Amino acid sequence: MSTHISDISMDGIERLLQAWGEWLSMGTKTGDGYPRTSPLHHSWMPPSPGMSPAMKASRGDRTLRVLHSAIGIMSMRLANTLVVVYVQRVPPSEQAQRLQCGESTVRARVREAKLKLRAALAAR
């Protein structure tokens, strides 16, 4: 992945969020293995040895793990917004419906989350 924590511009945060969404939903192009975390429930664990889950994911990238941790300490409202926008990748009208708010509110929440992530990553 070409985006690193040191790239904390808003464009850099956008690229990180897009990679994070891919990492959580289906893995990167070179990924093999299974998800280590769930974007929807913190207590989800990978299957026991010998079990075969259906979701393929990437091996994990340190930068994405740091981003995932930063998202994990955000408010549930902002974290859920990022999941709907970057992991589920549904159209804007459906994002608003799932989050029970207007499309402009979804955009405002994403903007707020990006600013918080930028500050959190800059502090590391």
Task: Find out whether 64 and 23 touch, Cβ atoms under 8 Å.
Answer: yes
Structural domain of 35: 13-122
Is-above-0.85 flag for pTM?
no
Q: For residue 57, what pLDDT is reported?
A: 47
> 22 in a domain, yes or no?
yes
CATH number for the domain spanning 92: value is 1.10.10.10
> 100 in a domain, yes or no?
yes
> 98 in a domain, yes or no?
yes
> 5 in a domain, yes or no?
no
Give me the helix-helix angle, 92-99 and 103-122, nearest 10°.
Answer: 80
> 25 in a domain, yes or no?
yes
> 3 in a domain, yes or no?
no
> 8 in a domain, yes or no?
no
Give the number of other CB atoms < 10 A from CB of residue 53: 10
Nearest to 67 by CA among 12, 25, 105: 12
Q: For the chain, what is the domain count?
A: 1
> 81 in a domain, yes or no?
yes
Q: How confident is the model at residue 1 (pLDDT cuts 50, 70, 90)?
A: very low
What would the pLDDT profile of 60-82 be if each residue is shown by its tens digit?
578 888 899 999 999 999 999 99
Structure tokens at 8: 């904390």
Q: For residue 103, what pLDDT is reported?
A: 96
Q: Which residues of 54-89 are buried (b: 16+ CB within 10 A; e: fewer)?
A: eeebbebbebbebbbebbeebeeebbbbbbbbbbee
Residue 40 in this model has a pLDDT that exceeds 70: no
